[in-house]
Amino acid sequence: MRTRLPFVAFFLLAALVARPAHSQDRPPRSGGDLTTLSLEDLMSVDVSVTSAARRSQRLNDVASAIYVLTADDIRRSGARSIPDALRLVPGMQVAQMDADKWGVSSRGFNGRFSNKLLVLMDGRTIYTPLFSGVIWELHQALPEDIERIEVIRGPGASLWGSNAVNGVINIITKSATATQGGLATAGAGTHDRGFGSLRWGGKLGDSTYYRASIEGSHRTALARYDEGSSPAGVNNGSFGLRLDSQEGANTYHLSAGHTAGSAGEVPNRFSLTTPFKTPFRNRVSVESTHVLGRWTHALSERSEIEVQSYASRERGDLHAVSTLATTFDMELQHRFAWGDRHNLVWGTGYRIRETQLAPREDIVFDPQTRTTGVFSAFIQDEIALVPKHLRLTVGSRIEHHHFTGVNVQPNARLSWTPNDRHSVWGSIARAVRTPSVGETDGRRVTADIRVDTGTGLPILFENRGTPMSRNEKITAFEAGYRVRVDPRLFADVATFYNIYDDLLGTTVGGSQLVVGPPMHILVPLGMRSINRGRAYGFELATEWQPFNNLRLRASYSLLRMSIESSDAAALREAPGKNPRHQAFAHASYDVSPTVKLDAVLRGVSPLTGYGAVQGYVTGDLRVAWQPVERVEISLAGTNLIGGERVEFVPDLLSVVPAKVGPTVYGKIAVRF
């Protein structure tokens, strides 16, 4: 009952501040910026998304569990990073592990490098081939430059490829055309000791627009859970350039960026003598550079062809490994309408990656340089069985992967929209997660050290990478319902049942007595496709705008998971590494035309698989003042309720958990 009281108080407060004196009707603002419209206005226009079909669709027509964070949502949340903004998406598991490190996943399997979630930024895949996860500190964008973030919960592999198992995050930035003129931001706070950015947009010729931006920040490190001293802080800097042009039927896009950062952390050093595991202060650095180009040609009003290519280079100097990954990707896709009932999209692509791995501390790789290639082709057809009401979407992606050969990932989706108020959908899909270079080529000499109670000798556990030819697989069943109760009240519910096969599990080999020095017991561990699992649950999201100046949003998600192994001698997968219950409530209140207030309340249940991770309820608050049209001054506080806490325990790389606590920062943004 105690955890429910803050939620009740939150909605009572929202009702009190929504007094009629500030709720007089105001006409919708002009222009094409949907983020400035009320919910009633949004429901009366064709709000479109692109991630579910690789073409523009009305949100109400999408047969997927999809949620959109608009530019206004991100700005008013006060989030200083993309993962922090993703906390507002129903069904997403987001945990802060350090000052700049995050675990982000959808519907389970969260971790430092969540390998069942595909993340795109302006069409570019940004996961690292080392662990098939995302190094979030390498991929940031100015909050003012993000147009929207589209999040699909559930498989998206039929269009986007392997690793889109539990979801797809598509981060879409604003065009250079929409960011003309100058923008300068600066701020500081208790954790963000200093940050700032400068952006300028201009025009080249009659139809070409450009944008250039630079930003930097310094954050203090978070306190450790079981170690008194904290590591050094976090320094990040980035530079970006974008050009957009349109000439007749042709649209051109070119973007490039460079990000570099360094951060302190507290990893563990293992030893065969007491105390066996010793934390030490260390500093790591990361760096990323990319160039992306895209050409779109309208063949007719109903047909369009698009060619995209990008190259990227990522370097990470971590305490356990030093990695350098170079990627080149090219893709072609064609969208067209066939008759009155078919909308087809098909495409093909090739991606090649070279990963260079240098051993550090207790990890070695064989080989140290690995080149992998993926060839892919996909096709999807949206069929209007009953025009404007009943749609069937079928499609599949075929890939040939370096490790696992040919993979087929089909899906079928059905949506029924009897009218503009109701939408019902269901789907069945198959997706795979391909092995990463770290899993196949890595060998961790000291995965853990314990003491044998019988002999008193130390036990050294050694992880050994295993060349694999099998993918982790999912068969997902989903269904959902969207309803507009009235012009100002909207609800969305999505349910799912996932069946996982050939999940990687840890096998235990025969122990060996090693004379030493010192004398110890060696236990080899291996990775095999021996686990299977089940996951089911639902996500409920509601949005209510009782007055033009007040918008209320709330969500609740339930996740139940179980994992079993076909090897009785294998290490058991610890249950409860993902929260069973999550909820949030967000109130956006325009006190006046120049003063805006936002309050967020979040609750997360315990991670029972980690003793240090308890459930928590916390709140964020932001107030913004616009003294003149081009200046905004804001003050934001995060994690203001509940004190310090551990949100996750990294289990891939052995580091001491960090504690997340209250922070406050002020910011000024000036447009010129």
pLDDT of residue 652: 61
User: Which pair of tokens denotes residue 88?
Assistant: 């507002």
Q: Over 60: is that where the pLDDT of 33 sits?
A: no
What is the rounded CA–CA span in Å between residue 667 and residue 672?
17
pLDDT of residue 357: 83
Tell me how crowded residue 568 is: count the other CB atoms within 10 A of its CB. 6
What is the rounded CA–CA span in Å between residue 663 and residue 426?
42
pLDDT of residue 447: 67
* DSSP-derived 3-state class of residue 47: coil
What is the rounded CA–CA span in Å between residue 136 and residue 100?
8
Whether pTM > 0.85 for this model: the answer is yes
pLDDT of residue 262: 87
* Whole-number percent of the chain with pLDDT over 70: 88
Q: Over 80: is that where the pLDDT of 561 sits?
A: yes
Indicate the Cα dihedral angle 147, 153, 159, 162, nearest 10°. Answer: 110
Cα separations in angstroms, 636 against 187, 191, 640? 11, 12, 10
Contact 142, 213 (CB under 8 A): yes
Instruction: Please give the span between the terminal C-alpha atoms of the chain, in angstroms, as a whole number.
Output: 50
pLDDT of residue 228: 53
Mean pLDDT, the chain, rounded, equals 86
**What residue segments make up the domains of the chain, in order of their start?**
5-671
pLDDT of residue 88: 92
What is the rounded CA–CA span in Å between residue 216 and residue 261?
9
Q: What's CA 123's distance to the chain center, in Å?
A: 14
In tens, the pLDDT along 579-629 reads: 999 999 999 999 999 999 999 999 999 988 776 688 999 999 999 999 999
Give the strands of the sheet with 65-70, arranged side by side. Answer: 65-70, 146-153, 167-173, 118-121, 124-125
Q: Which position has the higher pLDDT, 122 or 101? A: 122
pLDDT of residue 573: 66
Tell me how crowded residue 387 is: count the other CB atoms within 10 A of its CB. 9
pLDDT of residue 225: 57
Q: Over 60: is that where the pLDDT of 8 sits?
A: no
Position 454 confidence tier, pLDDT thresholds 50, 70, 90: confident
CATH (residue range 5-671): 2.40.170.20
Q: Which position has the higher pLDDT, 583 or 163? A: 583
